[in-house]
Amino acid sequence: MTRFSANRLTPYLFAAPAALVMLLALFYPIGYMIWGSFRAWDPSQSITETEFVGLANYARLLADPAFHESFWVTLVFAFSVVSVEMVLGVSLALLLDRKIRGMSLLRTLFILPMMIAPVVVGLVWRYMFHQSYGTINRMLEAVGLPKVDWLGQNPLLSVIIADVWQWTPFIFILSLAALQSLPRSALEAARIDGATTMQQIWHIKLPLMAPVLIVTLLLRLIDAFKVLEVILVLTGGGPGLQTEILALRIARTAREFRELGEAAAMSNMLLMLLMVLTLGMFAFTRWQEARARRLRFTKEEEG
């Protein structure tokens, strides 16, 4: 009898520590944030002393031009980095998918940018973008081109370049893995039928890679909405609001403007946006798995 109940308890014993920590420090805070987004909340108050204001925080945000600009900057940033990185990463993978010596060393070097702290990435790029002594301007000067005021005149472009540098390898490595696990038979058949390299890429490789590419794209898109430190160090959100993405605006609303209720409302909006993307990704993989199962099933029926 005791042995039986011990067995019954086993899964709970295994799951309990993680479940407790996540309930306490993840789900409770999220609920707290949603609750706080309906209240006028000042950092010096504890939340029980605050006043319920209904949707006032959300209404204020929707009418706030600074929030609009920040939302727009976030979308522009996220979609441009993801599209540039996808194009670059996938084409590099297609180019480098060959039997060459030292490929693993190459991949190792490519991971490096992703592993380094975003704060440090921001630091280095701020130096490289510096108007007078920055590496990039010095290179431009050396080949006779005019200097560019990167962080002053083209802040969003600079931020995008830094992010593309850091995260293109992510796409590259995932697409390379996808390429190398493609069925050899399909490629072989195409080659025997005389398909050109471009035809092979467009009609065979890319369609077969599509499931992994879509998941990669969604993963990267979700991550692009989380970027904060690189931009914080590089431009601090400025000049003006030109690079103030939502994550940065939340931090500033909470710290500088001391409007916790409004910051909570903004966090809630960002969270919902990301939740939609995550669930979309989840639905896509489920659909993909179901389709694969169905295909296998029909194949077995026929064979």
253-282 binders of another protein (CB under 8 A): 254-255, 260, 263-264, 267-268, 270-271, 274-275, 277-279, 281-282
Residue choice 26, 55, 189, 210 for contact with another protein (CB under 8 A):
26
- Considering beta carbons, is residue 158 or 268 the nearer one to another protein? 268
Minimum CB separation of residue 301 from another protein in Å reads 27
Rounded CA-CA distance 267/118 in Å is: 21
- The tokens of 37 are what? 């987004």
For residue 219, the minimal CB distance to another protein (Å) is: 6
Tell me whether residue 73 or residue 270 sits nearer to another protein (CB atom).
Answer: 270
Compute the distance between CA of residue 133 and CA of residue 128 in angstroms, rounded to an integer: 8
Q: Give the residue with the Cβ less far from another protein, 135 or 298.
A: 135
Among the listed residues 180, 286, 279, 269, the one whose alpha carbon sits nearest the alpha carbon of residue 225 = 269
How many DSSP H helices and E strands does the chain contain? 15, 2
We find the least distance from the C-beta atom of residue 303 to another protein, in angstroms, to be 26
Q: Which of the residues 74 through 133 are near another protein (CB under 8 A)?
A: 92, 95-96, 98-101, 104, 106-113, 115-128, 132-133
Q: Which of 300, 302, 225 is nearest to 267 (CA)?
A: 225
- φ/ψ of 259, rounded to 5, equals -110, 80
174 binds another protein per the rule CB under 8 A = yes
Smallest separation (angstroms) from another protein to the CB of 50: 10
Please state the closest distance from residue 63 (CB atom) to another protein, in A. Answer: 21
Site for another protein in 40-79 (CB under 8 A): 41, 43, 46-47
User: Does residue 36 interact with another protein by CB under 8 A?
Assistant: yes
Segment interacting with another protein (CB under 8 A) among 59-67, 78-86, 241-249, 294-302: 241-249
* CB of residue 206 to another protein, shortest distance in Å: 16
Alpha helices in 103-245 (DSSP H): 103-115, 118-128, 135-142, 150-153, 155-180, 184-192, 197-199, 206-224, 229-234
Nearest distance in Å: CB 9, another protein: 9
Give the distance from CA 92 to its chain's centroid: 20
Structure tokens that stand for 270 in this block = 């960002």
d(C-alpha 126, C-alpha 159), whole Å:
10
Q: What are the residues whose beta carbons fall under 8 Å from the beta carbon of 178, sequence distance 6 or more?
A: 93, 209, 212, 213
Considering the complex, state which of residue 82 and residue 174 has its C-beta at the smaller distance from another protein: 174
- Does the footprint of another protein cover residue 192 (CB under 8 A)? no
